[in-house]
Structure 1
């Protein structure tokens, strides 16, 4: 496949893709844009935000701000009072949040109850726990992961975006991000669904704490650098940003007992595509992906505008983009 053929294939078969950037052996080997996006424009990378937050938690652990992922969540919120009769919440750890094994009351994400509250962290804590106890069942959540931003703030005194700028984005050469807060439900919906390019922002709660489950806006060039950091076991341009031990622990596969996830495993907020080859990815709705293949020394970053029918694009990346890279 030629470069022109790949461009046309993306345009015809994956029409909501905005940008693709790919590296092999540390060299940029492909970069292209569609849908009137420029190379610098950002998209809302949806749930791929989660994987970036995993790196931030790792950095906080490396700095000694977090003693262990087995620390109890409630230890970080001594002023929070659990609801009467709630016992399970006392046993929930950071590891449970990172691996999507935390128990929650009710089904689905309580978007309105959290996002219309004055304190999204404490509103999320209200849903943590339940009568079933710690079952270790895979329970994919988005909005209640806001607890992780609350923990980052408690241990560092920094808003999520400020912590990310200082310890991750700036060391990678990524533009400084700012917080964005939607004043109304209409603005919140528009932020999620708008197909136009975004600025370098992170969607945040009323206190300015970035949403860890979604809400980060980046370009494919940006998230490709995040992928390179992971591929290089936490180093970038000769500088250690996150420990290699965290990258190893972060990508350790745990089985997902759910047919809706294509048989993939899960690490610390990263999807494990192929446990034998250690191929893993950050995956966001609409097909926003950071794909990392250590065996081939390849990183592929894809950004896309909102299209809910597109859930996962890793097969397309493997069959077309990775194949193009290996052939050329």
Structure 2
């Protein structure tokens, strides 16, 4: 064997040895690269069962309203797969790209956090959780020590837990990457450490939402998929079952992300927000909790020293064109906007978002809102 072949063989063997020695999540991150909107195909999932279908009506002006070309060019520059506008509980406009349809599954990414926040409200209504001021340690034994015993459910809801976490998406070895690809979310949560006193500083942590989901599961004795189906998905008349990705077969939901559904069914969360927690003649969650959910946590400051006027209980808040708009948000530009002043819901799904921030908001958001206002006006 030539010297070159021996060298190449040695390199190959070394690469294999190094790869095999890597943590489980790193190996899977290398294989799958950056997250995508159809990642439910690479993970195990749990079904969030739908019940009796309640269809959306189509408005008499369905798809007759036009979005101007400049705005559409901006929208299409971010590789959308769905844009939906609903007003007065009727579909006013919808468009799909890349062969997607009103039934196509797409990952919510962090928009799922807003669902988790609503599950906490349901568990409080059910008496399974006393209040948002209850300690997490009442539900999770690993939070009874090392300062974690101070953390309340409210601290998690408002991203002020003080847990040691690096919300880095592009780093192969970040805890956020670990959370996405790990096969043991519970170990990841159990091993968490504190870095600062809770309730002082807002810092966006995906793990706060995951801990909330574990609290819901411990409090109710049900998986969050089961509880979501029971409290919301069936009652809201979703057309299709949703899928919630798991860390392993029959494991824990990736609650901070990875609720997979379609644009029309995602819109139901926005409509629930418009309805102040009511669907039809049934109050699914208390109006008080819904109001708290979209009340900015201005008593907290962020890394820039600014008071947080853009976040509530796992829901984002933007003030635009004179309207206060609560919304759900995911890393690749997954948005569900609820616009109370217009009695409207806007859903956008797609492959990417803007890298540019305008304050706490992504620049691409304004294109979708501008499009909606063109249609709604």
Q: 1:280 to 1:303 in 2, by over 3 A?
A: same
Bigger drift between 271-280 and 54-63 goes to: 271-280
In structure 2, distance between residues paired with 1:260 and 1:29: 41
Shift of 1:116: 6.6
Q: Any idea what SS the aligned residue of 1:315 has?
A: helix
Shift of 1:278: 3.2
Identify the residue that residue 192 of structure 1 maps to in structure 2. none
Q: 2:204 aligns with which of 134, 137, 140?
A: 140
Shift of 1:89: 0.6
Identify the residue that residue 88 of structure 2 maps to in structure 1. 25
Stretches of structure 2 that go unaligned for 5 or more consecutive residues are 1-62, 168-173, 357-361
C-alpha deviations, 1:53-72, integer Å up to 9, x for none?
11111111111111111111
User: What TM-score results when the alignment is normalised by the length of structure 2?
Assistant: 0.71
Contact preservation (8 Å) 2:263, 2:347: yes
Identify the residue that residue 68 of structure 1 maps to in structure 2. 131
* 1:10 to 2:72 alignment: yes
Q: 1:202 aligns with which of 244, 267, 274?
A: 244
Identify the residue that residue 327 of structure 2 maps to in structure 1. 281
Q: 1:160 to 1:6 in 2, by over 3 A?
A: farther
In structure 2, distance between residues paired with 1:125 and 1:96: 17
In structure 2, distance between residues paired with 1:94 and 1:81: 12
Shift of 1:212: 1.9
Identify the residue that residue 268 of structure 1 maps to in structure 2. 313
Q: Any idea what SS the aligned residue of 1:222 has?
A: helix
Identify the residue that residue 261 of structure 2 maps to in structure 1. 218
Identify the residue that residue 7 of structure 2 maps to in structure 1. none
Q: 1:292 to 1:115 in 2, by over 3 A?
A: closer
Identify the residue that residue 322 of structure 1 maps to in structure 2. 373
Contact preservation (8 Å) 2:67, 2:374: no
In structure 2, distance between residues paired with 1:209 and 1:286: 23
Indicate the RMSD between aligned Cα atoms, in angstroms. 2.9
In structure 1, distance between residues paired with 2:163 and 2:251: 24
Counterpart mapping for 1:1-328 below 5 A: 3=65, 5=67, 9-10=71-72, 13-15=75-77, 16-78=79-141, 80=142, 86=146, 88-108=147-167, 110-111=175-176, 113-114=178-179, 119-130=184-195, 132-134=196-198, 136-175=200-239, 177=241, 200-206=242-248, 207-255=250-298, 257-258=302-303, 265-274=310-319, 277-306=323-352, 309=355, 311=362, 313-326=364-377
Q: Any idea what SS the aligned residue of 2:318 has?
A: strand
Contact preservation (8 Å) 1:58, 1:246: yes
Contact preservation (8 Å) 1:43, 1:305: no
**Higher Rg:** 2
Contact preservation (8 Å) 1:264, 1:274: no
In structure 1, distance between residues paired with 2:177 and 2:237: 36
Bigger drift between 275-284 and 285-294 goes to: 275-284
Contact preservation (8 Å) 2:136, 2:143: no
Bigger drift between 117-126 and 229-238 goes to: 117-126
In structure 1, distance between residues paired with 2:314 and 2:113: 6
Shift of 1:107: 3.3
C-alpha deviations, 1:70-113, integer Å up to 9, x for none?
111111023x3766xx2x21100110111001112253361355
Contact preservation (8 Å) 1:51, 1:269: yes
In structure 2, distance between residues paired with 1:111 and 1:298: 33
Runs of 4+ more than 6 Å apart: none
In structure 2, distance between residues paired with 1:260 and 1:17: 34
